[in-house]
């Protein structure tokens, strides 16, 4: 634990493996998302609902410090889900993703989502070989997260504001989040969703279909 | 960013500064808490309400990657609050706390709470010189956090389950959390609270008074 900077050689090894992953994904025509958000923001629930619309063409790699609970939840829905237990590391590394690919038939996939370790900080700076990063935040976390964690949100192609079903019970200004996103990263698309009720998923799914092309 | 291990000399410098902090706190008779939880779990709101019961005898050091929003919120309530912007670091270091102490009159305090960066992973392993660590999780995050982030919860003297006012709207089994805490760390006391409504705060405040003695 420290003010973390990979030294140049470790960084270049990491980036090299990320590039290898990227070439592998391209070869198989799979579009890959690196999904990043706080613990408990609803990444797994979002993936469960998203997967319903892609049938067997979507698979998930799920990173957790400890336990395979999230991968198990996803697999129960009949979706291919490969767990990675990082054993203490606060983010996924590209080599962990490379090793997890052995458990997947990439040729059968349109979309692969890598659910990163629940953490708004450390995963943001690490390229896994993905096409895009997607940031997830949730209504009960409060509406100042984009300001407080800009390093993530300036890299995301899309931001999911999850748990909008809890808006009546929380102080949360969606407009403020949209304005903050616009300042940090004008290209990011913002989607208000509820993985519990399904609200807002049409627009998110449409984004995924567009992004793939 | 990497699988983070401080090398031996950096670790020993960190521990040495933590010990200096601890001696400073003891000399002034201040009881110190290192509060750790996810982004948006309610650490700041808990501190705002807790401070009401300690008058001017409680101060807060507030770590954030970016912005001083949380420290500003606390200071608005007339409570001494020193912000630390870590500028990218995913947790507070003891040297940052040492430098922040210049902004506080320790002799006037009974209790100092260090609100760590919102992160369930990296802050857990770093000693800041505190007397105890307190873990915070919140109902909308889900009830599996103790299993997924055991490195934090095995070090906490108390666990606050915040936002119990949202229990009617979330799937969350408080009993499961209590059982998981008991397995990971039988000595940790678990408090169900709502910083919004004040529910459960009597027991938490009583814990603080006991712990101080």
pLDDT in tens, A98-118: 999 999 999 999 999 999 999
Q: Which fold has domain A12-212?
A: Rossmann fold (3.40.50)
CA of A85: which chain B residue's CA is closest? B148
Locate all alpha helices (DSSP H) within A84-123, ordered by sequence: 94-100
pLDDT band at A55 (very low <50, low <70, confident <90, very high): confident
Q: A79: pLDDT confidence band, cut at 50, 70 and 90?
A: very high
In whole angstroms, give the CA distance from residue B7 to residue B16.
14
How many angstroms separate the CA atoms of B203 and B213, rounded?
16
* φ, ψ dihedrals at B133, nearest 5°: -100, 140
* A128 closest CA partner among A109, A113, A150: A113
- Give phi and psi for A185, each to the nearest 5: -160, 90
Asked whether the predicted pLDDT for residue A193 surpasses 50, the reply is yes
- Measure B66 CA to nearest chain A CA, in Å: 5
At residue A54, the pLDDT reads 92
Residue B55 has pLDDT above 90, yes or no: no
Measuring CA to CA, how many Å separate B80 from each of B55, B62, B114, B118? 10, 10, 12, 20
Q: Per-residue pLDDT averaged across B152-158, rounded?
A: 97
Cα–Cα distance list, B84 to A126, B8, B94, B101 (Å): 25, 26, 12, 11
0.90 cut: is pTM over it?
A: yes
Interface probe with A: pick from B9, B124, B128, B148, most Cβ of A within 10 Å: B148
The chain A residue lying nearest B89, using CA atoms, is A3
Instruction: List B64's β-bridge partners, or say none.
Output: B85
Cα–Cα distances in angstroms (integers) from residue B202 to residues A13, A60, B3, B130, B194, in the given order: 53, 44, 41, 23, 11
Q: Which of A140, A142, A151 sits opposite B88 (nearest CB)?
A: A151
| Residues of chain A with C-beta less than 8 angstroms from the C-beta of B120 | 39, 118-119
Question: A32 near A25, Cβ under 8 Å?
Answer: yes
Query: Under 8 Å CB-to-CB from A187, ≥6 apart: which residues?
Result: A157
In this prediction, residue A8 carries a pLDDT of: 74
Subunit contact B148:A2, Cβ cutoff 8 A: no
Please list every residue in chain A whose beta carbon sits closer than 8 Å to the beta carbon of residue B118.
38, 120, 148
In whole angstroms, give the CA distance from residue B189 to residue B172.
Answer: 19
For residue B101 the two structure tokens come to 């102490």
Least CB-CB distance to A122: which of B93, B122, B165?
B122
Is A121 within 8 Å of B65 when comparing Cβ atoms?
yes
């Amino acid at each position: 634990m420290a003010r973390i900077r990979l030294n140049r050689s470790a960084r270049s090894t990491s980036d090299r493996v990320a590039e290898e992953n990227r070439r592998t994904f391209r070869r198989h025509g799979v579009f890959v998302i690196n999904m990043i958000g706080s613990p408990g923001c609803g990444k797994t629930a979002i993936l469960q609902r998203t997967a319903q619309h892609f049938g067997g063409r979507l698979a998930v790699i799920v990173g957790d410090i400890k336990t395979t609970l999230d991968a198990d939840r996803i697999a129960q829905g009949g979706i291919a889900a490969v767990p990675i237990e990082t054993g203490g590391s606060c983010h996924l590394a590209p080599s962990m993703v490379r090793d997890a690919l052995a458990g997947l038939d990439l040729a059968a996939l349109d979309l692969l989502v890598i659910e990163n370790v629940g953490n708004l900080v450390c995963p943001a700076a690490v390229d896994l070989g993905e096409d895009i990063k997607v940031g997830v935040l949730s209504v009960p976390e409060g509406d100042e997260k984009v300001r407080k964690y800009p390093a993530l949100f300036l890299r995301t192609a899309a931001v999911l504001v999850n748990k909008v079903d809890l808006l009546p019970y929380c102080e949360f200004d969606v407009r403020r989040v949209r304005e903050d996103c616009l300042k940090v990263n004008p290209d990011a698309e913002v989607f208000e969703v509820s993985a519990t009720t399904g609200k807002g998923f049409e627009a998110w799914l449409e984004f995924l279909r567009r992004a793939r092309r």
